[in-house]
Amino acid sequence: MLGVPVVAFTVWGLADNAKLFLSTAMNGLTLAALYFLVASGFTLVFGLMRNVNLAHGSLYLLGAYVGYVVGEWTGSWLLAVAAGFGSAALFGLVLQVAVFRFMHGEDLRQTLVTIGLSIMMADALLWMFGGEIYQFDPPRAIFGRTTLPIVEIYPTYRLVLLAMSAAIGVLLWWFLNRTRVGMMIRAGVDDRGMLAAAGVNVQFVFAVTFAIGAGLAGFAGVVGGTALSIAPGEDTRYQLASLVVVIVGGMGSVVGAAIGAILIGVAEQFGLAYAPTYSVVFTFVIMALVLAFRPQGILGRRT
């Protein structure tokens, strides 16, 4: 049912201006890669701990700024990336252990705490770093341009981003499906009570999950900030993007996050290219359609 208009549009687009169509498709995929990085952490945390972390965007920004500082200080972009991941993961770990651990089961209260935190963090970061824009300085090798068929020239960094996302996706899949901790996480997503009853240190699993989820946000902060610069307001933007991606893809499912990200990223870019005025509204239209016909998301499960 949905397939027909999509195929029709594809045929028309390719016939009309193949270069534009394909480059937009590539742009969509690479943007989706960034969205996936941010949303995967978000969905992981919700899936296991039922914690809608509305400070996820702030963690993105925190990782970006810390990564920037480290990058400036050491001159190494890779270290900046690592610092972005590490700082956000550490912050997330502290949050889980010091605050959320005591609010077990109180979903709304946890969310309210994350809202308060996001407001405070946004203002604190604005205070510390001001309203200026910050750009990263990645190695020349990944920041130039490559030649591709049909599209001709394409920014190398976006391809690197795509590759990184795919790698992280595979890594996450391997972690969740082939390690003990991953197995515990999956079990916890299915049934928290049983996990505890089986003698697993549930708090440990929670802490690890939150740290990973937050770390992913910080990692995305540096990686995304390299592509699109850091500025105040990015936190809200990526928070909303994660929200929409996860609603569409399904809560708690990493594969769902990938699918949702692709849908949303591609829709946004095609909207920008072919109907710029309402491009942002397209993504929300998709979300509304999913909510109307499949409220739990494409790969979500009915709780």
Q: Which of residues 188-217 bind other proteins (CB under 8 A)?
A: none
The interface region with other proteins, picked from 5-13, 81-89, 211-219, 263-271 by CB under 8 A, is: 263-271
Read off the tokens for 195: 């996990």
Residue 109 vs 179, nearer CB to other proteins: 109
Residue 56 vs 182, nearer CB to other proteins: 56
Least Å distance, CB 210 to other proteins, is 16
CA-to-CA distance for 174 and 250, rounded, in angstroms? Answer: 20
CA-to-CA distance for 134 and 221, rounded, in angstroms? Answer: 12
Beta-carbon count within 10 A of 285 CB? 12
Contact between residue 100 and residue 210 where contact means Cβ atoms under 8 Å apart: yes
CA-to-CA distance for 84 and 41, rounded, in angstroms? Answer: 14
What is the H or E stretch that residue 153 is in? strand 152-155
* Beta partners for residue 153, in sequence order: 147
Q: Helix, strand, coil shares of the chain as percentages rounded to 5? A: 80, 5, 15
Residue 148 contacts other proteins per CB under 8 A: no
Least Å distance, CB 212 to other proteins, is 21
Q: Rule CB under 8 A: which of 28-57 touch other proteins?
A: 31, 50, 52, 54
Residue 155 contacts other proteins per CB under 8 A: yes
- Please identify which residue in 14, 93, 279, 298 interacts with other proteins, judged by CB under 8 A: 279
The interface region with other proteins, picked from 79-87, 142-150, 162-170, 195-203 by CB under 8 A, is: 142-150
Read off the tokens for 101: 């651990």
- Please identify which residue in 13, 23, 62, 211 interacts with other proteins, judged by CB under 8 A: 23
Least Å distance, CB 264 to other proteins, is 11
CA-to-CA distance for 61 and 211, rounded, in angstroms? Answer: 16
Beta-carbon count within 10 A of 178 CB? 9
Residue 80 contacts other proteins per CB under 8 A: no
Residue 75 contacts other proteins per CB under 8 A: no
Q: Rule CB under 8 A: which of 106-125 touch other proteins?
A: 106-109, 111-113, 115-120, 122-124
